[in-house]
Amino acid sequence: MKTKKLKVKSRTENLSVIRDFVSKSAAEAGISSDVMENIILAVDEACTNIIKHAYGSVPDGELIIKTKFTQARFEISITDYGRSFAPETIPEPDLQKYYRQRRVGGLGMYLMKTLMDDVKYVSIPGKYNEVLLSKNIKVAQSNAG
Amino acid sequence: MAEFNTSVKEQGAVSIINLKGYLDAHTAPILENNFVDLIEKNRYQIVVDFKDLAYISSAGLGVFMAYIEKIRDSNGDIKLSGMSDKVYNIFDLLGFPLLYEIFKSESEAIKKFTETK
């Protein structure tokens, strides 16, 4: 098991730094480029939501991104100390409705759920929030049976 | 830092925005400004070419949602062209092909405007 950690401020200019970090971690885990692209997008969406909503675009909040991989699973945790958040209050997006209302929020959460195998939220009000994203990795040589 | 830039050109009544690089929450305002400028100039026939776009997140997709209604209300449209499979897949996941016409090439998208005039 190998873990890596990145700490950045809550600025959108750091999204590219975060993507590079995830890309390098995923490459070390031997993840294929297709899967890697999905993971990178899911992490970008999670961090964009944190910057915009948890920190309300205030640029000096902290995001801590940790990656961990085993042979079967690549996991990313993102911790912030911004406003807490109740994911169950965010409805699934209805694009036709969005079009009529010109609303664009909620798309990121939907993408995260679609692109990853598991998305979990932990929110301890006044302490921290954590998003846990995980993707199952197909192991080339399987000892199944 | 993410590299992203756009260039806007005109072909008759059609305006073409070429996207290049990484379109995310940081760079989306650049594209927003392009739409605002075109709307100010009453240029509502817009093709957005994705040929040189490497990456898009939902913040980038949101820009298209933000201006489409205003543009269609003014008898215009945003047509999209030249998407890589990777970028198309993200549009597809969110159901965008139902809302926007997507063409293989910029010239096909431009042609569609001139045909339907």
Q: For residue B116, is it within any domain?
A: no
Q: For residue B89, is it within any domain?
A: yes
Number of domains within chain B: 1
Q: Which domain holds residue B9?
A: 4-110
pLDDT at position A86: 76
Q: Taking 70 as the threshold, does the pLDDT of residue A143 lie above it?
A: no
Segment holding A91, helix H or strand E: none
Q: For residue B117, is it within any domain?
A: no
Q: For residue B76, is it within any domain?
A: yes
Instruction: Report the number of secondary-structure helices (H) and strands (E) in chain A.
Output: 4, 5
ipTM: 0.93
Whether the CB-CB separation of A121 and A104 falls below 8 Å is answered with no
* A-to-B residue pairs, Cβ atoms closer than 8 angstroms: 70
* Tens digit of each residue's pLDDT (9 = 90 or more) over B16-75: 999 999 999 999 999 999 999 999 999 999 999 999 999 999 999 999 988 998 999 999
Q: How confident is the model at residue A105 (pLDDT cuts 50, 70, 90)?
A: low
Mutate to test the interface with A, among B3, B26, B57 (most CBs of A within 10 A): B57
pLDDT at position B89: 93
Q: Which residues touch A104 (CB under 8 Å, ≥6 apart)?
A: A98, B58, B61, B62, B65, B66
Domains of chain A, with CATH numbers?
2-136 (3.30.565.10)
pLDDT at position A106: 77
Whether the CB-CB separation of A102 and B35 falls below 8 Å is answered with no
pLDDT at position A145: 39
B42: domain CATH number?
3.30.750.24
Q: Taking 50 as the threshold, does the pLDDT of residue A69 lie above it?
A: yes
Tell me which chain A residue has its CA closest to the CA of residue B22.
Answer: A16
More confident of the two residues A71 and B85: B85
pTM of the model: 0.91
Whether the CB-CB separation of B67 and B44 falls below 8 Å is answered with no
Q: For residue B8, is it within any domain?
A: yes
Residues B2, A104: C-beta atoms closer than 8 Å: no
**Of A13, A93, A108, Cβ closest to residue B26:** A13
